[in-house]
């Protein structure tokens, strides 16, 4: 084969490859606008694997997981009503060595992350360091410790007055952990971390409410109906994984109680204004949480039981 | 011929890599920038990647749960500079528009939403006269 023919062949193959790559990229990209808004069923899995595969798309799973509210909002509410800090309400950081499976490590990473945020918010430096160590240990065990900037957080926690920076960095690090787990297709661990964090925040809210009997706390307890439904939707995707069935069953029991809670909405048009170059929109739709004492009590009791199982797992 | 095929095969990863580089969007960098623009008193809660894949992806939507009696602030930063080219629209669970950073044809760095109704909301990112289709946004809250 002469040199000219070889050069032409190489040229043609390059062009073919480029065209193929471009078509492939465009085809993949073209699916994405819809994939965030629709429940996309995975393409024709074979019969044997169908039972094991999630029936909703990875994008949708990631989107729902991303929407689960951060426990830090609840921690702010608890502090905002003037509740005192009580470390004995939080999970004992010394229990960290008891968590030996990926399941218990991920759930308790969530629990300790909420506790870390709580201690951060109250500027309790020694507790921050203790919970930071617990979080670091579990993150290392799960192979995601490198995404947690332990050194900087430790430095910030070593002196007072860094609450805002600590909260921000902790939140960012947790988000990184979630993103990397999702990229590594380990979303089942992400949902466990989120569930653990959510259960701990709800547990702390119910605990404080038992003493304070505060309307804002009761409303927040009732509002968790929405987050619980999202969590159950995602957990159900991984129901065949070890230990998930028990957790799902427990949360479904909790959901039964939540079915009595109502969120009523009176719709109003939002009003918008520009103040100092900032768009400020006032929501005129108002929601009311309808939850009675018996429901609050039942939720309090059930959450305590679920949380105990998690921290003893 | 075999030599030519070997050379071509060796080139393939580089070609693929070159195409990939053009498509990349450093959302994390813009997220850091947006974070700095979050007003004092607001606590960071989530960040959102806004990667339009060079214009192939027209809309990027995220679901979120907002709590009543809480103020939420969104800040956007993109490759075109500030919020330029990126439109962030907040929709309620009926997909009715509540607010946007593109008001009367003018682009703002974000928006503040005073929520009085707990529920599911959607943040829809789209592009308007964007050159890069790349950026990020962060959400902060204040009670």
| Each residue's pLDDT tens digit, A7-53 | 444 444 444 444 434 333 333 333 333 333 333 333 333 333 334 44
Q: Is residue A277 included in any domain, yes or no? A: no
pLDDT band at A5 (very low <50, low <70, confident <90, very high): very low
Q: State whether A72 and B63 contact (CB < 8 Å).
A: no
pLDDT in tens, A159-197: 888 888 889 999 999 999 998 998 899 999 999 999 999
Range of the structural domain that residue A29 is part of: 3-260+292-312
pLDDT in tens, A66-117: 899 999 999 999 999 999 999 999 999 999 999 999 999 999 999 999 999 9
pLDDT at position A49? 37
* A114–B contact, CB cutoff 8 A: no
A111's tokens? 């629990």
The whole-angstrom separation of Cα A53 and Cα A51 is 6
pLDDT of A207 over the 80 cut:
yes
pLDDT of A222 over the 90 cut:
yes
What average pLDDT does range B4-21 have in this prediction? 51
The whole-angstrom separation of Cα A273 and Cα A68 is 29
pLDDT of A4 over the 50 cut:
no
Q: Cα distance from A214 to chain B (closest Cα, Å)?
A: 15
Which value, to the nearest 10 degrees, does the dihedral of the CA atoms of residues A299, A300, A302, A304 take? 150
Q: Which residue has 């008891």 as its token pair?
A: A98
The whole-angstrom separation of Cα A192 and Cα A204 is 18
Q: State whether B43 and A76 contact (CB < 8 Å).
A: yes
Q: State whether A13 and B45 contact (CB < 8 Å).
A: no
pLDDT at position A159? 83
- Helix (H) / strand (E) element for B112: namely strand B110-115
pLDDT band at A58 (very low <50, low <70, confident <90, very high): confident
Direct distance between the N- and C-terminal alpha carbons of chain A, in angstroms, rounded to an integer: 70
From residue B12, give the alpha-carbon distance in Å to each of A11, B9, B17, B21: 12, 5, 8, 14
> C-alpha angle B18/B22/B25, rounded to 5°?
130
Helix, strand, or coil here: B142? strand
Q: State whether A33 and B120 contact (CB < 8 Å).
A: no
Q: Is residue A270 included in any domain, yes or no? A: no
pLDDT in tens, A126-156: 999 999 999 999 999 999 999 889 999 999 9
- Count the domains in chain A: 1
Out of A25, A226, A289, name the one closest to residue B120 (CB).
A226
A19's tokens? 């065209």
Q: Is residue A14 included in any domain, yes or no? A: yes
The whole-angstrom separation of Cα A297 and Cα A292 is 9
Q: Is residue A275 included in any domain, yes or no? A: no
* A281–B contact, CB cutoff 8 A: yes
Residues of A within 8 A of B19 (CB-CB) are 18, 21-22, 25
Angle between helices A244-258 and A215-237 (to 10 degrees): 140
Helix, strand, or coil here: A41? coil
Q: Is residue A157 included in any domain, yes or no? A: yes
Q: Is residue A177 included in any domain, yes or no? A: yes
Specify the pTM.
0.83
| Per-position b or e across B1-33, b if 16+ CB within 10 A of its CB | eeebeeebeeeeeeeeeeeeeeeebebeebbeb
Out of B11, B64, B67, name the one closest to residue A223 (CB).
B67
* A6–B contact, CB cutoff 8 A: yes
| Per-position b or e across A120-157, b if 16+ CB within 10 A of its CB | bbbebbebbbbbbbbbbbbbebbebeebbebeebeebb
Q: Is residue A268 included in any domain, yes or no? A: no
A214: how many CB neighbours lie within 10 A of its CB?
18
The whole-angstrom separation of Cα A77 and Cα B69 is 10
The whole-angstrom separation of Cα A244 and Cα B27 is 33
Q: Is residue A222 included in any domain, yes or no? A: yes
What average pLDDT does range B28-46 have in this prediction? 94
Q: Which residue has 């706390």 as its token pair?
A: A217
Say if residues B82 and B76 touch (Cβ distance below 8 Å): yes
Q: State whether A278 and B108 contact (CB < 8 Å).
A: yes
To test the contact with chain B by mutation, choose from A166, A265, A270 the residue with the greatest count of B C-beta atoms within 10 A, namely: A270
Residues of A within 8 A of B47 (CB-CB) are 172, 175
């Amino acid at each position: 084969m002469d040199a000219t023919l070889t050069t032409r062949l190489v040229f043609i193959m390059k062009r073919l490859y480029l065209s193929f790559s471009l078509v492939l990229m465009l085809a993949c990209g073209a699916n994405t606008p819809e994939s965030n808004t629709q429940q996309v069923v995975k393409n024709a899995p074979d019969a044997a694997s169908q039972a094991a595969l999630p029936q909703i798309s990875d994008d949708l799973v990631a989107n729902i997981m991303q929407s689960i509210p951060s426990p830090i909002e609840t921690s702010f509410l608890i502090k905002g009503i003037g509740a005192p800090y009580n470390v004995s309400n939080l999970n004992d950081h010394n229990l960290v060595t008891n968590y030996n499976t990926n399941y218990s490590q991920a759930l308790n990473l969530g629990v300790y992350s909420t506790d870390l945020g709580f201690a951060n918010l109250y500027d309790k430096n020694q507790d921050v360091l203790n919970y930071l160590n617990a979080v670091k240990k579990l993150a290392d065990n799960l192979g995601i410790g490198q995404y947690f900037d332990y050194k900087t957080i430790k430095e910030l926690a070593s002196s007072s007055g860094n609450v805002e920076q600590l909260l921000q960095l902790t939140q960012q690090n947790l988000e990184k952990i979630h993103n990397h787990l999702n990229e590594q297709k380990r979303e089942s661990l992400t949902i466990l971390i989120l569930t653990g964090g959510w259960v701990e925040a709800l547990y702390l809210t119910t605990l404080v409410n038992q003493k304070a009997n505060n309307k804002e706390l009761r409303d927040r307890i009732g509002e968790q109906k929405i987050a619980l439904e999202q969590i159950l939707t995602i957990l159900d995707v991984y129901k065949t994984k070890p230990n998930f069935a028990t957790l799902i069953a427990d949360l479904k029991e909790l959901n039964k109680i939540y079915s009595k809670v109502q969120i009523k909405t009176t719709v109003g048009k939002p009003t918008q204004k520009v103040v100092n170059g900032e768009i400020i929109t006032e929501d005129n739709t108002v929601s009311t949480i309808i939850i009675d004492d018996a429901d609050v009590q039942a939720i309090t009791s059930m959450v305590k039981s679920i949380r105990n199982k998690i921290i003893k797992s | 011929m075999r030599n030519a095929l070997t050379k071509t095969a060796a080139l393939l990863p580089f070609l693929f890599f070159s195409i990939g580089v053009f498509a990349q969007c450093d959302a994390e960098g813009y997220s850091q920038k947006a974070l700095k623009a979050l007003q004092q008193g607001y606590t960071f809660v989530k960040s959102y990647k806004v990667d339009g894949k060079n214009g192939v992806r027209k809309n990027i939507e995220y679901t979120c749960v907002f709590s009543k009696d809480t103020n939420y602030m969104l800040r956007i930063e993109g490759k075109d500079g500030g919020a330029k080219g990126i439109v962030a629209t907040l929709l309620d669970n009926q997909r009715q528009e509540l607010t946007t950073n593109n008001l009367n044809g003018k682009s703002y760095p974000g928006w503040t939403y005073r929520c009085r109704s707990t529920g599911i909301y959607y943040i829809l990112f789209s592009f308007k006269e964007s050159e890069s289709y790349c950026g990020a946004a962060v959400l902060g809250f204040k009670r």
